[in-house]
Amino acid sequence: MTGFFRTFAWGLPLGLLLAASPAGASQFTVNPTRVELSARVPSAVVSLRNDGQLPIRIQVKTHVWTQTLDGQMKLDATDDVVVFPALVTIAPGEERRLRIAVTSAPAQVERTYRVFMEELPPAAGAAGETGVKVLTRVGIPVFLRALAPSARAGLSDVGLSQATLHFQIDNIGNTHFVPDRIHVQALSAAGTVVTDKTTDGWYILAGTSRRYEMPLDGSTCANIRTLQIDVAVGETTLKQRLETPGGACSR
């Protein structure tokens, strides 16, 4: 995200430091970073590799994943996702494999989950452990494909409030998508470009929407007569045009 939108959560990043300190940072990688399952492919293998110099212990937790309108993740513990083993110790330079499966049957709407690999504190008195330990939590999405996947996107709630453009991207299909590009252009009465901004999207799950807000610069909003929004999702481009004959500052 380039930062021109007012900050809305994009969900947890791939790696999340749980304790901030430069000392004793772990280095483990996960591959692949997303899992897609279906009726034909009911399980998948994920590899964990310890690139650090000390052994690490990893605990795996599973969650149903939904979203709020402002992009916040909603995570609820679930038994629908089975990971084996759920607790591993990985030596330096070693790679361990986890098998991930979903026990729920595929449905008309895609099921979405998050699997988190959480580093546990080292055992008391573990060799080589000194100072504060930085623990790492890595989350990956797991998708259980819908029986007949259909990705459909819509654009709605386009308007201005207190010199801030707002709109939302709606997922009206039964499977997730990620907008390839979100582009906003502001034009003057003469058609010249006043503002031109582009950002990338993030996951929008089936049946959910994501709201975006873009504050308009006070030094230029009076000159804005048209706002154009273009959202690219795969081969589809959503377009919306908002006229502001009195300028965009006071609306």
Are both 190 and 126 inside the same structural domain? no
| Same domain, yes or no: 84 and 112 | yes
Tell whether 3 is covered by a domain.
Answer: no
What is the C-alpha to C-alpha distance for residues 146 and 132, in angstroms, rounded to an integer? 45
Nearest-angstrom CA–CA distance, 220 and 94: 56
Name the domain count of the chain: 2
Both 138 and 21 in one domain: the answer is yes
Predicted confidence at residue 16, as pLDDT, reads 37
Of the candidates 88, 123, 144, which is a domain's last residue?
144
CATH of the domain at 225: 2.60.40.10
**33 and 139 part of one domain:** yes
Check whether residue 94 and residue 212 sit in a common domain: no
DSSP 8-state class, residue 221: G
Range of the domain at 59: 15-144
Q: What is the pLDDT of residue 147?
A: 96
Q: Which residues contact 241 (CB under 8 A, 6 or more apart)?
A: 226, 227, 228, 229
**Burial grade of 227 (CB within 10 A; 0-12, 13-18, 19 or more):** buried
Phi, psi of 221 (to 5 degrees): -65, -30
CB atoms within 10 A of CB 170: 17
Q: Are residues 85 and 42 in the same domain?
A: yes
Output Rg (C-alpha) for the chain, integer angstroms. 22
Is residue 85, in this structure, part of any structural domain at all?
Answer: yes
Please check whether residues 180 and 123 belong to one and the same domain: no
214 and 94 fall within a common domain: no
pLDDT (0 to 100) of residue 13: 36
3-class DSSP assignment, residue 114: strand
Q: Does 249 fall in a domain?
A: no
Q: Do both 84 and 24 map to the same domain?
A: yes
Q: What's the pLDDT at 130?
A: 53
Mean pLDDT by 10 residues, the chain (251 residues): 42 35 64 96 96 93 95 93 96 96 96 96 64 79 96 95 93 96 95 92 95 89 94 95 88 59
DSSP for residue 217: P
**Residue 241, H or E segment:** strand 236-243
